[in-house]
Amino acid sequence: MNNVCLCVGKYAQNPFYVKFLDISLYSMEELCYYFLERVHMLDDAVVSADLVRWIRIECGLGELADELEVYVRKHMSVAAFVTTILEKTGMYDANTVKRVEHILKEQSSLTMAQRYKKRAEYLYQQGRFRQALSIYSELAEHIPVADTAERALIYYNMASIYAMDFAYEEAAGFYYQSYLIQPDAETRVAYILAKKMALSDYAFGSFQREKPEWEQDFLRADALFLAAQEKWEHSKEKALAIELSELKSSVQRESYHKRMGELLEQLKKDYRRQTKD
């Protein structure tokens, strides 16, 4: 049998909860896998008495916990703390442990703003948009005014999150803030698309007439809008909407309610995942 990992310690009755990722860890193997897979997200908060207590009580690793308690008391680096755990469990080879140590040491030189930015980007990529938006909002208050590229990017990402949540008016506002800080064609087109979705046809027409110098950008926005509509026409979401509509108008009321129930449950799960602290 390939890729067999020997277990270290006991299987925890009470998991260690990682609030940031909304996951529960039940063994040292899961903890080490978490360290390896999320190494770019680890910070000084990892070096905690709570984690050491869990390793001692739930996993039954008293000697390791004794050593780690010293690390916590002396405020040792996250690199030293994590690599000690990886070495003691023996799940990964020496080269892998050294690679993790190198990454963590490099990250220690990042500013708090840079670390938060990495965390927000990770949440954004994982589809946890509301948590990402919360971090971006905090970052916007702390990024120096002179750092125009960073501020523009943060506002752009905030706008994109609002757009995915169908809050097009808010999205347009943040796209425009990003554009004012660092004007570029991509942001301008995104701003136009958000305005198109937020305004009535008449109001959007007035907006377009106020910006004759953006003629090419409006044409590009129209092309992107039509492409999105075409994609919708051939999407599984459109097919589902048609299916539900047909079930509702037919005599198959039981099938309709079942499918709606399944859809609502999935939407609830997605919402809870996005809004959980």
Consecutive 10-residue runs of the chain (277 residues): their mean pLDDT?
Answer: 60 89 88 87 89 96 95 94 93 92 86 77 77 84 83 92 91 96 95 95 95 96 91 78 71 65 64 50
Is the distance from CB of 72 to CB of 49 less than 8 angstroms?
Answer: yes
Task: Give the C-alpha separation, 19 to 55, whole Å.
Answer: 17
Question: What is the DSSP pairing of strand 16-18 with strand 23-25?
Answer: antiparallel
Of 73, 80, 31, the closest CA to residue 51 belongs to: 31
Provide the pLDDT for residue 85: 96
Taking residue 150's Cβ as centre, other Cβ atoms within 10 Å add up to: 18
Provide the pLDDT for residue 260: 65
Residue at 150: amino acid letter: E
pLDDT per position as a tens digit, 167-214: 999 999 999 999 999 999 999 999 999 999 999 999 999 999 999 999
Provide the pLDDT for residue 259: 65
Taking residue 215's Cβ as centre, other Cβ atoms within 10 Å add up to: 10
Task: Give the C-alpha separation, 120 to 142, whole Å.
Answer: 14
Residue with tokens 């602290």: 277
Is the distance from CB of 82 to CB of 100 less than 8 angstroms?
Answer: yes
Provide the pLDDT for residue 49: 96
pLDDT per position as a tens digit, 43-62: 888 999 999 999 999 999 99
Task: Give the C-alpha separation, 25 to 4, whole Å.
Answer: 19
pTM of the model: 0.60
Provide the pLDDT for residue 43: 84
Task: Give the C-alpha separation, 211 to 52, whole Å.
Answer: 61
Provide the pLDDT for residue 242: 73
CA 16 to chain centre: 21
